[in-house]
Amino acid sequence: MTSHNDDYSLLAPGPVNLHPEVRKALALPMIHHRTPEFDKILKRVLTNIKSVFQTQEDVFLLTATGSGGMEALLVNILSPGDKIIAIVSGKFGERWAEMAKVYGAQVTIIDVPWGETVKVSDVEELLKKNPDTRAVLCQACETSTAVAHPIEQLGALIKNYPETLFLVDAITALGAYPLPMDAWNIDGLVAGSQKAFMLPTGMAFISFSQKAWKIIDKATCPRFYYDIRREKKANSGGETYYSSNVALIRALDVVLNMIATQGLEQLFHEIHRRAEFTRRFGQMLGFTLFAKSPSDSVTALRVPAHLDGQKIRLHLEQVHNITIMGGQDQLKGKVIRVGHMGYIRDAEMLRLIDCLGYTLRHFDPDSITLEHISNISMEAKNWLEQNP
Ligand SMILES: *Cc1c(COP(=O)(O)O)cnc(C)c1O
């Protein structure tokens, strides 16, 4: 199996390579969650995670995938019939709009062409006509297209609408690049364990602003598992309401300690550097950038028109032990997506560029010479040394 080899690289936009210290934490013997030993860890995690959200508000740990966290943001602020503006610029925007519909909201979709960012003026126009809108939904990074949306500007707009909350899916953004919840007027924020938080899949982290808390108590949408009021009460007593996800919370403790030690700035710098590297050398190999305003979390490279991105992806995995992702839906076969989050060493990035070169040659020997690949490889190595 590919993953049992030492040289296996998981360069997807989540799940991601795990840091050796995280793997160690995941291998520890199980302990019960209602114990002083775990209570200490939970307390530390609930405090430290706020610094990644850059918020004074409480952050909640849900045992759910990222989508569960998206649902939790919605069900706690919605009442049936509420007006919702959903910015849909790819797969995950579609999912959130669908969820809001399922819970009985009147959803107006702002359809953003894949690869582009939302125009703040489009949101403003809709809000002016509908100042009673309950919430605006947006991905910080739409992982399916690798686009980063203008969250700061949207937050500055929406804060002027007292009835409207700004909910942000930051599952591939929070912890990857700056997204200060309080400073940017975000009212509901969700992050995911297997993406920027560098853990296995299985947890979502969410937080609400004071503006949102005023709505939470009035909202009438049915909710049980995700009723955040239960969790808030339990957390204030030093516990989680349901069984705590001991294994992932212990691993999260390790990640948060690493982030605290190196600093958020340094973490963002490392991810930005990988993104720069991939954009630069991906283009040198003959790919073009798909996103107009590319996110640092993930790069979408458009493959040359006569080649199939799905085949490139598969070849890279089967022959070179590197997993990246292909395109979804309308982008299937047209792009490959490389994730920059998680534990990634320079050698892996270099290997990715080399192996992408060999893979291009495998499918089209005329597209690139071995000499060209080796020149790009040299240049890539130099770039990494000159840009620590
Ligand atoms: C991965 C992802 C999700 C979904 O997360 P799951 O953990 O698969 O439920 C939602 N939104 C974005 C932007 C994502 O990248």
User: Is the CB of residue 262 less than 8 Å from the CB of residue 269?
Assistant: no
In single-letter form, the type of residue at position 337 comes to R
15 CA distance to ligand 1 middle (Å): 10
Rounded-to-integer distance, Cα 135 and Cα 82, Å? 9
Q: Can you read off the two tokens belonging to residue 218?
A: 């009035």
DSSP letter at 304?
P
> What is the model's pLDDT at position 128?
98
Q: Which residues pair with 189 in a beta bridge?
A: 168, 207
For 263-278, write each residue's pLDDT tens digit.
999 999 999 999 999 9
In single-letter form, the type of residue at position 287 comes to F
> What is the model's pLDDT at position 2?
60
Rounded-to-integer distance, Cα 111 and Cα 349, Å? 34
Rounded-to-integer distance, Cα 313 and Cα 127, Å? 41
Average pLDDT over residues 61-85: 98
Q: Can you read off the two tokens belonging to residue 376?
A: 């790009």
DSSP letter at 195?
T
Average pLDDT over residues 119-142: 98
Q: What percent of the chain has pLDDT over 90?
A: 98
Q: Find, among 147, 387, 173, 141, the residue nearest to 277 by Cα.
A: 387
In single-letter form, the type of residue at position 41 comes to I
For 100-109, write each residue's pLDDT tens digit.
999 999 999 9
Class of domain 31-261: alpha beta
> What is the model's pLDDT at position 4?
65
Scan for tokens 């590319």, then name that residue: 294
272 CA distance to ligand 1 middle (Å): 20
For 316-370, write each residue's pLDDT tens digit.
999 999 999 999 999 999 999 999 999 999 999 999 999 999 999 999 999 999 9
Domain residue spans in the chain?
9-16+263-386, 31-261
- Give CA separation, 15 vs 41, 42, 53, 257, 342, in Å: 24, 23, 20, 20, 8
**∠ CA 278-279-280, rounded to 5°:** 90
Ligand 1, atom 6: closest residue by C-alpha? 66
Rounded-to-integer distance, Cα 26 and Cα 108, Å? 43
Give residues with Cβ within 8 angstroms of 281, minimum separation 6.
353, 376, 379, 380, 383
Q: 195: pLDDT confidence band, cut at 50, 70 and 90?
A: very high
Ligand 1, atom 5: closest residue by C-alpha? 66
Decide which of 3.40.630.30, 3.40.50.720, 3.50.50.60, 3.90.1150.10 is the CATH code for 9-16+263-386.
3.90.1150.10
Average pLDDT over residues 218-224: 96
DSSP letter at 202?
S
194 CA distance to ligand 1 middle (Å): 9
Write down the mean pLDDT value for the chain: 97
- Give CA separation, 194 vs 72, 112, 307, in Å: 18, 26, 30
Q: Of 73, 139, 167, 171, which is best to mutate to test ligand 1, by the most ligand atoms within 8 angstroms of its C-beta?
A: 171
Q: Find, among 161, 169, 187, the residue nearest to 65 by Cα.
A: 169
Ligand 1, atom 2: closest residue by C-alpha? 171
Q: Of 167, 189, 195, 298, which is best to mutate to test ligand 1, by the most ligand atoms within 8 angstroms of its C-beta?
A: 195
pLDDT at 6 over 80: no
In single-letter form, the type of residue at position 93 comes to G
pLDDT at 3 over 90: no
144 CA distance to ligand 1 middle (Å): 10
> What is the model's pLDDT at position 7?
84
Q: Find, among 284, 283, 279, the residue nearest to 372 by Cα.
A: 284
The alpha carbon torsion through 214, 215, 219, 224 (nearest 10 deg) reads -70
Run of H or E residues at 317: helix 309-320
67 CA distance to ligand 1 middle (Å): 6
Average pLDDT over residues 224-243: 97
- Binding pocket residue ranges, ligand 1, CB within 6 Å: 14, 65-67, 92, 139, 143, 169, 171-172, 192, 195, 201
- Give CA separation, 242 vs 61, 74, 234, 235, in Å: 11, 20, 9, 11
> Identical fold at 9-16+263-386 and 31-261?
no
Q: Of 63, 67, 144, which is best to mutate to test ligand 1, by the most ligand atoms within 8 angstroms of its C-beta?
A: 67
**∠ CA 190-203-83, rounded to 5°:** 35
Ligand 1, atom 14: closest residue by C-alpha? 171
User: Is the CB of residue 40 less than 8 Å from the CB of residue 48?
Assistant: no
For 83-127, write each residue's pLDDT tens digit.
999 999 999 999 999 999 999 999 999 999 999 999 999 999 999
Give residues with Cβ within 8 angstroms of 121, minimum separation 6.
none
